[in-house]
Structure 1
């Protein structure tokens, strides 16, 4: 299969929908798939008519992690791993951060490894009651430092470390308590919860949404005074925009 066959893109008014569409395979993604979906999310969110990007997965599970392609030789050394695998994974996280508008991820079933980190990195994550999250890489004594890099900006360090060291699955309620999940939808109510969230954003000004996303991305890197000044500048620009009526 080509990377484009792993997901599809649809438009619903101001919403770009990206759907992982290989549910029978757990919506796993190989590095080329990751590069393609990361670029697609960022491109959709950069369209001036789009206010929100929503990522969902077909089937029982949101995403079971990295796909191992039969017949493809594993990287032979550290440099090859960095170029063929790590850079693709880190590129997804970067594209999620740099997409101008919010990215919402809806999780059902399991989000495992890369799928868990993807859900953590999103701006908004809605999990269905019964969803489960895990970082099992240490089962094979592989330190999941890439996944940790995605989770740390969103979650307390001790919560991330607990998931990494124990490899235990956590439920949606625990993921919410840890800060990985924004909201927990009732069983069978994930689609309705996502639609409700979309309705809250669809009639908002795109520039305001972009400003919020930018502030949330950059403010944590500043000291308190810098956060305040940058926030004042952003809101001043938004309030005085020539497009406002």
Structure 2
């Protein structure tokens, strides 16, 4: 399978101010290969100036994880191997999310496991259908999912994240909502309609204000409260001053 063929597993459509990206490898549960991760990062970069970016998936499941097997015992894997083959493609993808000025809206149906859960959580807004499930089951294969956990550290309560990883069992849509992985649970069959309505709601707001909120949410939690207030005041001043 060539990189160009794997890139075709990432759908991209731009209509006006809205860009839609889709995982299109439903025959394999939309499992993400390294080249798919890089292709998704490139797609995010190509549409990052859109007003809204929607991330969805074809098929019954959003994403069943990464398409890579752990090395066999005694393979002599070193840190450089892990960084190159495991961490680097995913870090590139995480960084592409961070470069998007527009809010990214995730639409999740079915199973979002492994990196699928991370993608759902990494979106700025995430809707999921009733009946969806979420899991980080890497410990069952003897893999500590630290790379997957990295973006979840400031998105999930510590106890919820620890239980998700240590129990290695799927949680349902309502549990994912309580854990901060998704923002809203919608009725089965209503995912696209609810997503379209939310997109239109976002487009009704001034773009600079929406972008400032996204920037604040991405940066302020790392600051002490008083510094976060000052940072937010600076963003507000920029928005008001640009009117």
Which TM-score bucket, shorter chain as reference?
A: over 0.9
Looking at structure 1, the residues matched to 77 and 8 of structure 2 have their Cα atoms a distance apart, in angstroms, of 28
Alpha-carbon distance in 2 for matches of 1:75, 1:120: 33
Q: Distance in 2 between matches of 1:227 and 1:75?
A: 45
Q: In 2, Cα distance between the equivalents of 1:62 and 1:75? A: 34
Alpha-carbon offset, residue 12 of structure 1: 2.1
1:198 deviates by 0.5
Superposition RMSD in Å: 1.6
Q: In structure 2, what is the Cα distance between the partners aligned to 1:23 and 1:193? A: 22
Asked whether the 8 Å contact 1:52–1:103 carries over to 2, the reply is: yes
Q: Distance in 1 between matches of 2:40 and 2:55?
A: 10
Residue 14 in structure 1 maps to residue 12 in structure 2: no
- The offset of 1:84, in angstroms, is 2.1
Q: Is the 8 A contact 1:125 1:183 kept in 2?
A: yes
In 1, distance between residues paired with 2:111 and 2:222?
Answer: 32
Which of 4, 7, 11 in structure 1 is aligned with 2:7? Answer: 4
1:225 aligns with 2:216: no
Q: Which residue of 2 aligns with 1:118?
A: 119
Residue of structure 1 equivalent to 2:72: none
In structure 1, the residue matched to 2:32 is 29
Q: After TM superposition, which residue ranges in structure 1, 4 or more long, deviate above 6 angstroms?
A: none
Name the counterpart of 1:157. Answer: 158
Q: Residues of 2 paired with 1:168 and 1:84: CA distance?
A: 26
Q: CA, structure 1 residues 56+218, in 2 after alignment: closer, same or farther (shift >3 Å)? A: same
Q: 1:202: Cα distance to partner?
A: 1.5
Find the residue that maps to 1:233 and give its secondary structure.
helix
1:42 to 42, 45, 48: 45
Contact 2:10/2:39 (<8 A) preserved: no
* Partners of 2:231 and 2:152 in 1: CA distance: 25
TM-score, normalised with respect to structure 1: 0.91
Q: Runs of 5+ in structure 2 lacking a partner?
A: 70-74
Q: State how far apart, in whole Å, the 1-side matches of 2:107 and 2:158 are.
A: 23
Deviations 1:4-27 (A, max 9, x none): 211110012211000111111111
- Give the Å deviation of 1:163: 0.7
Partner of 1:56: 56
SS in 2 for 1:230: helix
Check 1:6–1:238 CA distance in 2 against 1; reply closer, same or farther (3 A cut). same
- 2:179 — aligned with what? 178
Aligned length: 235
Change (3 A) 1:21 1:165: same
